[in-house]
Amino acid sequence: VMKFLSRSGVRLGYVEGGSGGNAILLVHGMRCNHTHMQPQFDHFSRTHRVVSVDLRGHGQSDKPADGYSNDDFNDDLVFLCNALGLKKPVGMGHSFGGSTLLHLAVREPDFLGGLVLFDSGVRTPESKRGELGPLRQMSPEDNRRFLADRLFGPDDPPSLRDKIIAEMFEVPPEVGRPMSETVLGFDSGTAAVRCKLPSLFL
């Protein structure tokens, strides 16, 4: 069941389940939504309290015209955790979600209890711009092909690939553009060195 809390006029969606153990905060990737973390939610909610979010601009959360820096996303996550009584949750994030959690771990080193990054690009801004910068000049169709080739393998069902790609392109351009700049400008390589939390990179 989707639930909502509002911070500064922006409605933020989340689902929660389970109890016990260290609380877990699940954060999806760029242009994705909380349902893309469903296998992790189903598994960990058997033994832990789990909250899985829709970041602003994604899923059922509001999509304001601005507010897509790492600090904005971090402020939303801190607000949700405090409002829901999550104390030092283990942050688990996929791709952009992992990078956002890594930024939070460095910004507020005592907030999270641990960190798990699923396929998050931990590298310098120069490396990211060389690899991902051309996306901004691609046509929508070329962009779709790039993501399909990059994010999916030969064993992934085509129906799942097509569903996820379609959902990714539901994110409005006014959300996607500033998020791209956030991704390209974040020095996650340096942040990983500075991070003092117990961490797992997958």
pLDDT of 124 reads 82
Q: What is the DSSP string of 115-182?
A: EEEES---S-HHHHHHHHGGGGGS-HHHHHHHHHHHH--TTS-HHHHHHHHHHHTTS-HHHHHHHHHH
Instruction: Annotate 111-121 with b (16+ C-beta within 10 A) or e (fewer).
Output: bbbbbbbbebb
Q: Which among 67, 89, 69, 92 is positioned nearest to 78, based on CA atoms?
A: 89
pLDDT of 6 reads 97
Q: To the nearest whole number, what is the mean pLDDT of the chain?
A: 92
Predicted confidence band at 50 (pLDDT cuts at 50, 70, 90)? very high
Q: How far is residue 17 CA from its own chain's centroid? A: 19
pLDDT of 174 reads 87
Mean pLDDT within 33-60: 97
pLDDT of 62 reads 97
Residue pointed to by tokens 């500064």: 8
Q: Looking at per-residue confidence, does 146 or 5 come out higher?
A: 5
Tokens of 49: 């309290």
pTM of the predicted protein model: 0.92
Q: Looking at per-residue confidence, does 35 or 174 come out higher?
A: 35
The 10s digit of each residue's pLDDT in 151-163 is 899 899 999 999 9
Using an 8 Å Cβ cutoff, are 91 and 101 in contact? yes
Mean pLDDT within 11-36: 96
Report CA Rg, the chain.
16
pLDDT of 59 reads 94
Helix (H, G, I), strand (E, B) or coil at 15: strand
Q: Is the dihedral of CA 55, 152, 188, 24 positive or negative?
A: positive
